[in-house]
Amino acid sequence: MNLNVLIRENPLFLSLTRKQLENINHIALIKKYKKEELIFSEGDLAKGFYLVISGRIKVYKLSSSGKEFILDIFTTGQTIAEAAIFSGETFPAYAEALTDSQLLYIPKAEFLRLLKESPDLSLKMLSSFSQRLRKFSVAIEELSLKEVTSRLARYILELSKQSGLRTPKGIECKLNLTKEQLAKSLGTISETLSRSLKKLKEKKAISIQANKITILNLKFLESISSGSKI
Amino acid sequence: MNLNVLIRENPLFLSLTRKQLENINHIALIKKYKKEELIFSEGDLAKGFYLVISGRIKVYKLSSSGKEFILDIFTTGQTIAEAAIFSGETFPAYAEALTDSQLLYIPKAEFLRLLKESPDLSLKMLSSFSQRLRKFSVAIEELSLKEVTSRLARYILELSKQSGLRTPKGIECKLNLTKEQLAKSLGTISETLSRSLKKLKEKKAISIQANKITILNLKFLESISSGSKI
DNA sequence: CGTTCGCTTGAGGCCGTTCAAGCGACGTGG
DNA sequence: CCACGTCGCTTGAACGGCCTCAAGCGAACG
């Protein structure tokens, strides 16, 4: 495991000089978490943020009755909660390890100092925040204006763009989460997700083999994603 | 109307030097919009962002069937769509003038140059983005996990913190938008909002006089806001 | 005085949740 | 090797919150 390479792989840190990278490496701490271990809770003081070295981390909201909404699942090379260290002093959500994981913990104070030295780093962060804002605004739009099947269609389409494989039958993509987790990422529950998947199968938009989804009718899936009724 | 004062009032620009303020003033354009005029559409190329000089601007999402979700309503001194000029090239939502309005249009290219000169300005923007992310994450949480009445309660509580007046009867606050607009800010429709307000009135949590809401039972309102059933 | 507008109220229906049961795959222990 | 429990997922029935559609109502205004 070469930490320097890992840090440099993150788009945020692309612009840093060798020396600044070493600085980060110097101020950062490696922390290990077991599967299902809580990393932080909503409301906890945010004195730093995290970069995933290995494993999978779930960031989620919790309702008073215990229902979960998964904001994102992070893997190797991605940063978590970097926005929490500006303004406000607390984490706005929960984070939990889905698998045994190693995280790099980067303390707030030192990082802010680094930020003042490197205007490029600031710009990268601004760009990263702006992307996340975009992502959130899509989530808000979908939750308030669209049905579950439509959100599911969008999810599958995005998945296919990121990791889809062209095959004779259609575009094949692998689900890296359980149906339960997918449901909680779409703002619903597994029963409803199951029924939505069934609808898409019946309409021959997709087919499913274990944890693989094959897109059979891209156009149709896109029209559902954009809100047309099934 | 003193533009310099107005620009300086925005927390983003607090840190700028006199010279940098003049720079902004120099590169910026004043644009006027009539009531109900469209300022930009989702998907439009974002070559700059806006600062409200006067008037009220509604920023919203639109579903394919025409349903609206109001992300925010901006007034004097606030900036609009500044996140859109980083990453991605398009506006992620629509903007429309609710009243006759004057906006300051700040072109992207020149502003980015300014940003590189002023690390402080970058930090201010990061902080502002982080606040907006927080706001969005609350919206996502509420839309996915809470009922309309609960969201309404949170809205009233926030309103009371910003502009509430202590009176013998309770905390009094003024609604600056129509019920229709409020409904669309909460991700619902005016009929449902009307019923939710009725529930809160019946439970003696609030009372309503035209466009004024008086909080009669703060604790109760807080418990509803945090998700307990009515 | 009639029209429009913002808001409220009622009836009906739909989507999604809840609750309950069933199913195959898998691992464990008898 | 089989019985048994667990787990992830699916399916069905019933319920509930919210939306749709329609009507009513008071205030503002020409």
Contact call for B133 and A129, based on CB within 8 A:
yes
Give pLDDT, residue A13: 74
* Cα four-point dihedral sign A143, B79, A91, A11: positive
Decide: A173 and A163 in contact? Cβ < 8 Å.
yes
**Helices A148-163 and A119-145 meet at what angle, rounded to 10?**
140
Residues of A in contact with B89 (CB under 8 A): none
Q: Which residue bears the tokens 């605004």? A: A137
Query: Quick one: average pLDDT of B40-68?
Result: 94
CA of B175: how far to CAs of A92, A142, B24, B54, B198, in Å?
27, 27, 34, 19, 16
User: What digits encode the pLDDT tens for the residues A73-97?
Assistant: 999 989 999 999 998 789 999 999 9
- Return the minimum-mean-pLDDT range out of A27-36, B3-12, B93-102: B3-12
pLDDT above 80: residue B166 = yes
Give A15's pLDDT tier (boundaries 50, 70, 90): low
User: What digits encode the pLDDT tens for the residues B24-37?
Assistant: 888 899 999 999 99
Of the candidates A149, A137, A180, the residue with the CA atom closest to the CA atom of residue B59: A137
User: What digits encode the pLDDT tens for the residues B61-110?
Assistant: 999 989 999 999 999 989 999 999 998 789 999 999 999 999 999 999 98
Residues of B in contact with A89 (CB under 8 A): none
Give pLDDT, residue A21: 76
- Return the minimum-mean-pLDDT range out of A90-99, A107-116, B154-163, B215-224: A107-116
Query: Quick one: average pLDDT of B146-170?
Result: 95
Which of A42, A112, A126 to mutate: most B Cβ within 10 Å? Answer: A126
Residues contacting A223, CB < 8 A, separation 6+: none
Backbone torsion region of residue A55, taken as left when φ is above 0, otherwise alpha when ψ lies between -120 and 50, otherwise beta: left
Query: Quick one: average pLDDT of B169-186?
Result: 95
Q: How far apart are the first and last CA of chain B?
A: 48
Give B50's pLDDT tier (boundaries 50, 70, 90): very high
Cα gap A81→A168, rounded to integer Å: 41
**Residue B147 CB closer than 7 angstroms to strand D?**
yes
The whole-angstrom distance between A164's CA and the closest CA on chain B is 22
The whole-angstrom distance between B186's CA and the closest CA on chain A is 9
Decide: A98 and A55 in contact? Cβ < 8 Å.
yes
Of the candidates B140, B29, B134, the residue with the CA atom closest to the CA atom of residue A69: B140
